[in-house]
Amino acid sequence: MKKIAVVGLGIIGGSICAALTKAGYEVDGFGRSSASVEYALKAGYIRNKGKCLADYDVVFLAVPPNATMDYLDNGSYKDGALVTDICGIKKSLEELVYAKPRNYRYVGLHPMAGKETSGISSASSELFKGANVIITQAAQTKAEDVAEIKEYLFAMRFGKIVECSAETHDKKIALTSQLAHIVSNAYVKSNEVKGCDGFTGGSFQDMTRIAGVDEKMWTQLYMGNRERILAELNGLIEHLSVYRNALETNNAEALSEALKEGRLIRETIKRGND
C-alpha cells in the first residue's frame, strides 16, 4: 500500500486524513502545531506524525496559498511521488510547478467543502461525502495521475468530480466562492447589524454565513486571483448600480425589470450537486 502524507491539519487536511484512514489507507500527518498533530493522533485520523516528506508516495498539501507554493517549489519529495494541493487558486501554482523540471508528479485539486468553523477540531471523515471536487489539468498532466487521484477522491466519498483547466477554475471560483465571501464580509459592516437580534431569518443567515473569513489566508487567495476577482467585483458593482438608480429615481418599472432579470437567471442555475 502506498504511503500517504497530509501536510496541514486544519479542517480540510484533517478531514482528508480522517476520510482516507477510514477508507483503509495509511496516512501520516504534518502539522504546524504539535496540538493539531496530537489531536489527529488521538482521534485516529493519522497513523504517525510525519517526519520526512521524501518518505511518501502521495502528498496532499492542505496549507494556505503562499505555503503551498513554497512546498511545491522547494519541498523534497520521493522521485515519482504524486503531489497534490487543495488550494483555491490554481493558475499561478500550475505555472510555478511547470516552470522547471520536477521529480514529482502534480495534479491540482479543490474540494468544494467546508464549514463556518476551522481547525482540526472541525474536521470529519464525513466532510466530503457527496461534495463537489475540482481536478485541474494542464498539457503536462498525465491520465494515469488523474486516475490515481480519483481513487483517493472516491475513497473520501466525494460526489461530483469536475475536470477543467486552471484558468477555467480560477474564473469560476472568482465568482462562486471568492466574490461571495467578499460580499458577505462587506454586508455585515452595515450599522444596522447591531441590535438586529430577533429581526433575522434565513436570508440574513445565508448572507452572513461566510463573512467570518480568515483574513490572512483569504487575502492570499484574493491576491493570487486578483484580476479575475476584480472583473467579477466590477460586474457586481455595475449590476447593483441598476437597483440603486431605480430607487433613486423612484422608477418602479426599472426596479421590477431588474428583479425579474435576476429571478429568471436564478431559475437556470442548478442547485446542489446536480
User: Hey, where are the domains in the chain?
Assistant: 4-164, 169-266
Cell of 265: 437567471
Nearest residue to 56 via CA among 107, 128, 108, 7: 7
pLDDT given for residue 274 in this prediction: 47
Buried-state track 114-145, b at ≥16 Cβ within 10 A, e below 16: beeebebebbbbebbeebbbbbbbbeebeeeb
Q: Are residues 56 and 3 in contact, defined by beta-carbon separation less than 8 angstroms?
A: yes
pLDDT given for residue 117 in this prediction: 79
Whether 169-266 and 4-164 are alike in CATH topology: the answer is no
Give the contacts of 161 (CB within 8 A, at least 6 positions apart): 132, 133, 134, 135, 150, 153
pLDDT given for residue 170 in this prediction: 98
Q: Residue 249: what are its φ and ψ, rounded to 5°?
A: -95, 5
Give the contacts of 152 (CB within 8 A, at least 6 positions apart): 4, 20, 25, 58
In whole angstroms, give the CA distance from residue 145 to residue 151: 10
| CATH top-level class of 4-164 | alpha beta
Q: Over its length of 274 residues, how does the chain's per-residue pLDDT go in tens digits?
A: 899 999 999 999 999 999 999 999 999 999 989 999 999 999 999 999 999 999 999 999 999 999 999 999 999 999 999 999 999 999 999 999 999 999 999 999 999 998 877 899 999 999 999 999 999 999 999 999 999 999 999 999 999 999 999 999 999 999 999 999 999 999 999 999 999 999 999 999 999 999 998 999 999 999 999 999 999 999 999 999 999 999 999 999 999 999 999 999 999 997 654 4
Instruction: Determine whether domain 169-266 maps to CATH 1.10.3660.10.
Output: yes
Task: Tell me the pTM.
Answer: 0.92
Q: Report the phi/psi class of residue 126: left, alpha or beta, with left for phi > 0 and alpha for psi in -120 to 50.
A: alpha
Polymer length in residues for the chain? 274
